[in-house]
A and B are shown apart, each in its own frame.
Chain A
Amino acid sequence: MATVAPPNDTAIEREAEAWMHDPYDHFGYHNTRIHTLPCEEVEAVQLAAMNRRLAERRGQIKTLEKLADGQNITALATLDDMAPLLMPHDIYKSYPVSLLAKQRFDQITTWLSRLTRYDVSGVDVSDCDSIDSWLVRLREETPLDVATSSGSSGTCSFFPKSKRDYMTSVMGMRVQLAQKFGEHPRPGDLADKIHAIIPLYRDGHASTGAFAKYFGKIFAHDDPDYWHTCFNFKISSDLMWLAARLRAATAKGDASKVDVPPSLLARRAEWEQAQKDMPAQQLEFVNRMIHELKGQRVFVMGTSNLLYAAAKRGLDEGLSGVFAPDSVFMGGGGAKGVPLPDDLEEVVCRFFNCERMISAYGMTEMNSFSVLCDHDRYHVLPWVTVFLLDLETGQPLPRHGAQTGRAAFFDMTQDSTWGGIVTGDLVTVDWDRPCECGRTSVALEKKINRVSELQGGDDKISCAATPAAQAEAMDFLTGFGG
């Protein structure tokens, strides 16, 4: 299918170029303006940007080239034409896992080089003997700061994010979180140093450690007095990988079958002890921050349960309203099966002195975080195109009416990777209904499920094993199943 791109509109093209390059600068870091653009204009710019990116990246990213060539796509006439070029998120863990166990970082680097526009083939990784040493080498010698994560299968994914991508991500947080929607930004929202309180690690390659240094730059303006982390060291990607492999091996019924280098296996106790000590240390850290930074404007990013525990203890001690009223609290996650308390938001807000506890939807593979509005919808930044894909056919669902499908995104601000990603999330959008909050940006309903949770059906019994069946059994046996 050879499609012709729509004729160039110079104004739209110029707009697309600016959004792709530095959208926050282009909009004067103005959150309200960013979220109130006319939809038709946004879609026109998105389409122009997609065509520009495709033309530019297909020669730079090998995997994209193969995908586009295979489907004979050279240009996009509509937004939906992008659907065949969106990559499943699993592609970032599609290397053979034995290469990690054998520490063949040269081969994994070659694999990685096909997923980014940056040339990493010239980096000498022959002396790297761990994931950490490999990723540090790439970070030192290229624009990349590769992001890792481990799924339930125990495979570590490597997403070749660039440092610039991280800066764009975190700037998006500051712009969206520090300003009140409907108002102009106050000078301090943009220029002031804001205390960043991160009850996690100072450094690392996984999300629990990677973001801290960028928070340090964007919120604290590199002032160490404004940059607070609970663990002032780096979270080891090797240990995280070890933990994931151990979990996977245990689930298979033989914990001795762990395919990691022996030197790493020897560090098992170190990891387990750190995990055990962590919750108490985090609570202690937040309590310390409460006393040290009383009355100041802070940005806190932590799990909802941690914020709740700290707030509850503070209230019991007779404290409330401890930080400045324009502080920002972003909760989230929480371990599976650990229910969030009913009075979570009330307790957190009363103690920390904020109107709302913020939650956001985002992922490592994108530079954008979508913040939940007062009407419980996640608003997507205009430089991200949302696709809902039919679960059966994989085809895009119509961009009108209320639709529920597998979420996929194209993020035009991606500096290193292609930017088109298919997620495992089941998302609902009502395309025709403007959100009561006043934002015109695309709004995802608050309830987001995993597609995998939906499948399997009701009361169907099979003798063939599926991972879901096993995971469910494991959860039950370990007591988290409820």
Chain B
Amino acid sequence: MSPKRPISYAVLRGKVIETDLIEFGGRGGDITFLAPDPRLIADQIPLASPRLMEDLYELSFEDILDYLAELGERLHLKDNAYLQEALEYSYATAPTTKPIMDGFFHDMPFMFDKERIRGMVDFNIGIDYLEGWVEKAINGSKVGIRAYGARTLHIVAGNGPVLGALTVLRGAVTRGDTIVKVPSNDPFTTGAIARTMVDMAPDHPITRHLAVAYWRGGDEALESRLYQPHNIEKICAWGGFASVKHVTRYIQPGIELISLDPKRSASIVGGEALDTPELMDEAANRIATDVATGNQTACAACRMVYVMCGTDGEGVEKLKRLGRMTYDAMMRLPQALTTKPKRYDRDLKSQVDMLRLSDDFYTVIGGEDDEGAVIVSHTSDRVDFWEYLADRTVNLIPVETLDEVLDVVDAYTQTVGVFPESLREIVRHRGALHGGQRFVALGYAFNGPGLVGPQDGIEPMRRIVKWIISEEPLPGRKPFWECTDEEIKVVA
């Protein structure tokens, strides 16, 4: 008997597919895994007709929450063999390390807490809009608006295993029909969740409106069949171009693209944070946490910190002290949050080592052992390879004014950490104009309300539903056929 090989199960509308397996992956030293031959399952992936969405409307929002809460109960790692298996295989495919992956899987059930979901949905869409028509008298008509579920294909990112779970959840609460194309850096987790759903309630509408499968992005034979307006109405793509480059040719009237572009994050620290050892220590802990959580694989992870300490000798000396404290703080963080990186990027290592030779302009703290590093610029310049900062490598940059910081905030900037709070008002207003999308207290980039609101400056939850309008005249509204020429006004 050959040892058991990892399988990325296709779970299609209540059925687990584990036959006709073919091999995928294996590039650049990655493990290979098996998945059902996409061509053989292609016709089972989409919902046969939009009429079949009807069953979702026999459920109340509370019914949906009950389902999700029960699912959450079944996603405790210790009791769930599917998740245990997925986790075991994910160690090899994930960009992060074992303790961090263990943490992600351990925390997964908490995403399914009823009140947490209720708060998220109400703030995003408004539960009333999902449950029925929200009506209002306006301009002489009674207008109703309701959010209907759509048939959405999700191309999810794989740098965190929670994104598949989040997608399942978003699909369920919006009464959507959800197809998840799993990525090769996380091919197992979403399938394990879906298998749990099949065990729990194989005929439940939520189970029946989920299809999870792996196929290689760009598989033309499959995608040209699937990406048709009679199969799907929306494509929600994470990772921007990497995931949509194969899709764009299929975009046509009837298919809407929701693109969550790749992003990066930076932080802003006021000069007063360096005034006392206590404040400096606090700033160091805050920076270290936002840099290192999840080993800096997420878009929300801080990669550069602009510190308004000035670029004179004194300011730079203080910044070096902050750099050393940040490094120490990073090394102290618990391993559920961060560890020595799985594989420190060689190019980055060579760039960091190179800056050690340029000690007129840069101070490099740590990094000798591939554990991560703090690079302190002595001028207001970020390092030339700032776009490649990863694996717990952060650049602290001294600046004189806030304007210099805002100059580097652009449309690729997702999260901006701010410390101290006195800076928030001006940073979030001017930062938003420059392109920044999320403003958090430094140190809390991953310790907030969860993905409750807009993301990357857009509203993915509001966009995966269809906003439908219903209009009827209020009593007294005169029909056109009874109007004189003067009375008729066709107004948009």
| Contact surface of A with B, Cβ cutoff 8 Å | 63, 66-67, 70, 87-88, 90-91, 93-99, 110-111, 153, 155, 252-254, 257, 259, 391-394, 422, 451-452, 454-467, 469-470, 472-473, 476
Contacts and interface: CB of A to CB of B under 8 A. Distances in A.
Interface in B337-367: 343, 346-347, 349-351, 353-361
B385 interface: yes
Given A458-B25, A472-B242, 5 more contacts: A93-B384, A155-B384, A393-B346, A394-B346, A458-B30
B6 to A, nearest CB: 15
Given A98-B381, A155-B384, A473-B241, A461 B349 contact: no
B240 A473 contact: yes
Interface string B163-192: 100000000000000000001110000000
A458 B355 contact: no
B97 interface: no
B492 to A, nearest CB: 32
Given A90-B384, A111-B360, A465 B412 contact: yes
Contact of A458 (B216, B238, B343): B216
A-B pairs with lowest CB-CB distance, top 7: A96-B381, A465-B262, A473-B241, A461-B239, A253-B411, A463-B299, A460-B185
Contacts of B412: 252-253, 465, 470
Contacts of B264: 464-465
A469 B240 CA distance: 8
A254 B357 CA distance: 33
10 contacts: A66-B357, A88-B353, A94-B361, A110-B360, A252-B410, A457-B184, A459-B183, A459-B184, A463-B157, A466-B388
A93 B361 CA distance: 12
Interface in B253-280: 260-264
A461 B238 contact: yes
A253 B217 CA distance: 27
A104 to B, nearest CB: 9
Contact of A465 (B263, B297, B384): B263
A460 B357 contact: no
A464 B358 contact: no
A417 to B, nearest CB: 14
Interface string B199-216: 000000000000000001
A464 B387 contact: no
A201 B353 CA distance: 37
B388 to A, nearest CB: 7
B87 interface: no
Contacts of A466: 262, 387-388
B144 interface: no
Contacts of B355: 94
A90 B354 contact: yes
Interface string B375-389: 001111100110110
Given A111-B358, A464-B298, A458 B411 contact: no
A455 B27 CA distance: 10
B252 to A, nearest CB: 18
Contacts of B343: 392
A188 to B, nearest CB: 46
Interface in B7-54: 25, 27-30
Given A91-B354, A97-B381, A461 B435 contact: no
Nearest to B160: A463
B184 A463 contact: no
Given A99-B379, A257-B407, A88 B387 contact: no
Interface string B57-96: 0000000000000000000000000000000000000010
A201 B202 CA distance: 73
Contacts of B95: 462
Contacts of A391: 346
Contacts of A393: 346
Contact of B185 (A93, A94, A96, A457): A457
A151 to B, nearest CB: 9
A25 B261 CA distance: 58
Contacts of A259: 407
Nearest to A464: B299
B484 to A, nearest CB: 53
B417 interface: no
Contacts of B156: 461
Nearest to A394: B346
Interface string B383-400: 011011010000000000
A476 to B, nearest CB: 7
B357 A451 contact: no
B245 interface: yes
Contacts of B289: none
B182 to A, nearest CB: 9
Identify which of B298, B343, B349, B357 gathers the most chain A CB atoms within 10 Å of its CB. B357
